[in-house]
Amino acid sequence: MVFHRILCPIDFSSGSREALRVAAELARGSDAALVVVHVWQPTQWAAAEVQLAPGVLQDLLDSEHAELARWRAQATELRGGEVDVKFLTGAPWDQIVGVARADRAIDLIVMGTHGRTGLRHVLLGSVAERVVRHAPCAVLVVREPEAAAA
């Protein structure tokens, strides 16, 4: 199967690292474009009952951008060519599906999962599960490596 444009959402986890490796390999093999997207969810901070000092939120945002730049460099090396990168804000699954819907050339989403089960899955939900349910294209879910999951 040949792909034209592959979307790889990342959350800086080991599962995302493995998904990025797989996505880059598929992109290289198909000569497909690779789009890496990171979704920042500031509601996690807004929901906390802790007042953040002025500038702390900006420091967190700057840190996210710096980490994304490091991942972009790794993606470019793995892909062996240019990689598009997007930094979005909102509910991760909704933003990921939104990118795929807006860019109809995306024909595959490759994403990692934390592999939560039971009560942890019910309480925390699954971004991957929601993407699979709502994506307008094929979704390949990559489990994090066994050593990292343990």
Task: Give residue 122's pLDDT band: very low, low, confident or very high (50, 70, 90).
Answer: very low
Per-residue pLDDT reduced to its tens digit, 30-85: 999 999 999 998 755 555 566 667 688 788 889 999 999 999 999 999 999 999 99
**Model confidence at 133: pLDDT above 90:** yes
Gap between the Cα atoms of 9 and 44, Å rounded: 19
**Domain contains 63:** yes
Residue 85's alpha-carbon distances to 7, 10, 39, 59, in angstroms, are 10, 10, 11, 20
Could you give the maximum distance between any two Cα atoms of the chain, in Å?
A: 51
| 62: CATH | 3.40.50.620
More confident residue, 121 or 93: 93
What's the domain range around 23?
5-44+55-142
Q: Where are the beta strands (DSSP E) in 11-96?
A: 33-40, 84-89
**Model confidence at 17: pLDDT above 50:** yes
**Domain contains 87:** yes
> Residue 46 belongs to what H/E stretch?
helix 43-46
Count of structural domains within the chain: 1
**Model confidence at 121: pLDDT above 50:** no
**Domain contains 149:** no
**Domain contains 148:** no
**Domain contains 147:** no
Are 108 and 136 contacting, i.e. CB atoms less than 8 angstroms apart? no
The pTM score is 0.86
